[in-house]
Amino acid sequence: MDATLRPGRPEDANTCGAICYEAFKAIASQHNFPPDFPSREAGVELLSMLLAHPGFYGVVAEVEGRIVGSNFLDERSTIAGLGPITVDPSVQNSGVGRRLMEALLDRAAQRSLPGVRLVQAAYHMRSLSLYAKLGFAIREPLALMQGAPLQATIPGYAVRQASEEDLAACNRVCTHIHGHDRSGELLNAITQATATVVEHDGRITGYATAVGFFAHAVGEGNDELKALLGAATAYLGPGFLLPTRNTELFRWCLEHGLRVGQVMTLMSTGLYNEPAGAYLPSFSTDSSGACPRLNGWRTCWEVGVRAVGHEDQAEQRSFVEGLSTPSGTRLLHLTELWSRRPPVSARASLPLSEAAETTVCDARSAMRAWVTGVEALEDEPPQRLAL
């Protein structure tokens, strides 16, 4: 189908919101699931927010001047979140969805975003296949947990509302677990007063932007997540997403009366670190796949480092070459150097290291190293990188 794509505008909200509601409802009812959105208005409300939010980029597809679908990229943090993507049921399965996906992967590549992630409804064969063909890898099975707030406390794990002063500590926990922070989303949640932190042994060891479908949480262990879940007074949206491979937490939730609403899949392309702690992902926005559109990061044991705040290429090079791991080993193999402006694509080769765990030392002040991508050789296990 010959669709034209353009950036989304706030005035598209009514039509896109209605399509969003109808598209999800159609596929859900085919599988005897309740609709994802309780009403058309709820769809319009969500899309109004997304189309007006400066942190989200929306793309709209039109056929003969009529809007037939939309898709969104959450650009607030290091790793972008994709979705919701919806296509009018009357024109589904004719290529519009693929175009909407490709447009946002192009956008992510243009903006040098290191990775894109999404959450997919496991029963939806079409979206699963489409995303896989576009380079997304399956990362985690998820359960959408539903039920009444638990009202549980975990001794030694105190939960309180988060404030901006907590941002750095929270980002540290997230970076430890995911290898990158989710600062933009967290700051948004702090501003909206939905974010909470959990303190243990006198320090912040976890946080939640809220407990809900569009919110994420991280903790050094399951006790942190139990405390955050136990303190939540409501679950925003249709429930919260729980990685079911976290058997202990999954059982704990089930034993506390929560039920599984549906099974979903976390998929990602680009930079992905196997999480090193407990976490709850959010619907559209936590997360290497061979994505041709993210070629900048399609490297084998190669690491790209962006030297933020250095306009000068020589300065960048000397800064990056000065980076070393705590053990004194150099980065594996530095292939690309990016600057914000003008785009620089310099090459700098550093000695290869066999290090399984490479940590880029945290540069001070404005000189902040940002690991932008790593992908394992196909027959090698993935490696973790952290700032």
Ligand X SMILES: CC(C)(COP(=O)(O)OP(=O)(O)OC[C@H]1O[C@@H](n2cnc3c(N)ncnc32)[C@H](O)[C@@H]1OP(=O)(O)O)[C@@H](O)C(=O)NCCC(=O)NCCS
User: Does the protein bind ligand X through residue 152 (CB under 6 A)?
Assistant: no
Nearer to ligand X, 92 or 372 (CB): 92
- Which member of 24, 213, 235, 279 binds ligand X (CB under 6 A)? 24
Task: List the Cα angle 107/186/225 in 5-degree steps.
Answer: 120
Nearer to ligand X, 63 or 386 (CB): 63
Nearer to ligand X, 18 or 85 (CB): 85
Tokens 């490297």, residue located: 299
For the bound state, the minimum distance from the C-beta of residue 141 to ligand X, rounded and expressed in Å, comes to: 14
Nearer to ligand X, 69 or 275 (CB): 69
For the bound state, the minimum distance from the C-beta of residue 100 to ligand X, rounded and expressed in Å, comes to: 7
Helical spans, DSSP H, in the chain? 13-30, 40-52, 96-110, 125-133, 167-178, 183-191, 222-231, 247-255, 313-321
User: Does the protein bind ligand X through residue 293 (CB under 6 A)?
Assistant: no
Nearer to ligand X, 28 or 229 (CB): 28
Site string for ligand X, 69-108 (x = CB under 6 A): --------------xxxxx----xxxxxxx----------
Cis status, amide bond into 342, omega within 30 of 0 = yes
Footprint of ligand X on residues 215-274 (CB under 6 A)? none
Q: Which residues pair with 165 in a beta bridge?
A: none
Residue count at the site for ligand X (CB under 6 A)? 24
The three-state DSSP-derived secondary structure of 62-127 is EECCEEEEEEEEECCCCEEEECCCEECHHHCCCCHHHHHHHHHHHHHHHCCCCEEEEEEECCCHHH
Q: What are the C-alpha distances in Å from 8 to residues 13, 67, 68, 100, 219?
A: 9, 10, 12, 12, 36
Nearer to ligand X, 240 or 319 (CB): 240
For the bound state, the minimum distance from the C-beta of residue 49 to ligand X, rounded and expressed in Å, comes to: 17
For the bound state, the minimum distance from the C-beta of residue 118 to ligand X, rounded and expressed in Å, comes to: 7
In DSSP notation, 333-353 reads: -EEEEE-SSS---B-------
For the bound state, the minimum distance from the C-beta of residue 241 to ligand X, rounded and expressed in Å, comes to: 12
Nearer to ligand X, 87 or 228 (CB): 87
Binding range to ligand X, per CB under 6 A, among 19-27, 103-111, 139-147, 369-377:
19-27
Q: DSSP state, 212?
A: B
CA torsion sign, 23 to 29 to 34 to 40? positive
Nearer to ligand X, 25 or 306 (CB): 25
By beta carbon distance, the residue nearest ligand X is 97
For the bound state, the minimum distance from the C-beta of residue 133 to ligand X, rounded and expressed in Å, comes to: 5
User: Does the protein bind ligand X through residue 189 (CB under 6 A)?
Assistant: no
Nearer to ligand X, 20 or 323 (CB): 20
Instruction: Give the 3-state secondary structure of residue 24.
Output: helix
User: Does the protein bind ligand X through residue 4 (CB under 6 A)?
Assistant: no
Question: Can you read off the two tokens belonging to residue 79?
Answer: 């790793």
- The b/e string for 63-73 (b: 16+ C-beta within 10 A; e otherwise) is beeebbbbbbb
Site string for ligand X, 41-60 (x = CB under 6 A): --------------------
User: Does the protein bind ligand X through residue 27 (CB under 6 A)?
Assistant: yes
Contact status, residue 384 vs residue 274, Cβ threshold 8 Å: yes
Shortest CA distance to 85 belongs to which of 144, 127, 53?
127
Contact status, residue 106 vs residue 59, Cβ threshold 8 Å: no
Instruction: Give the 3-state secondary structure of residue 228.
Output: helix
User: Does the protein bind ligand X through residue 194 (CB under 6 A)?
Assistant: no
Site string for ligand X, 108-137 (x = CB under 6 A): ------------xx--xxxx-xx--x----
For the bound state, the minimum distance from the C-beta of residue 31 to ligand X, rounded and expressed in Å, comes to: 11
Nearer to ligand X, 118 or 229 (CB): 118
Cis status, amide bond into 326, omega within 30 of 0 = no
Residues contributing to the site for ligand X (CB under 6 A)? 23-24, 27, 83-87, 92-98, 120-121, 124-127, 129-130, 133
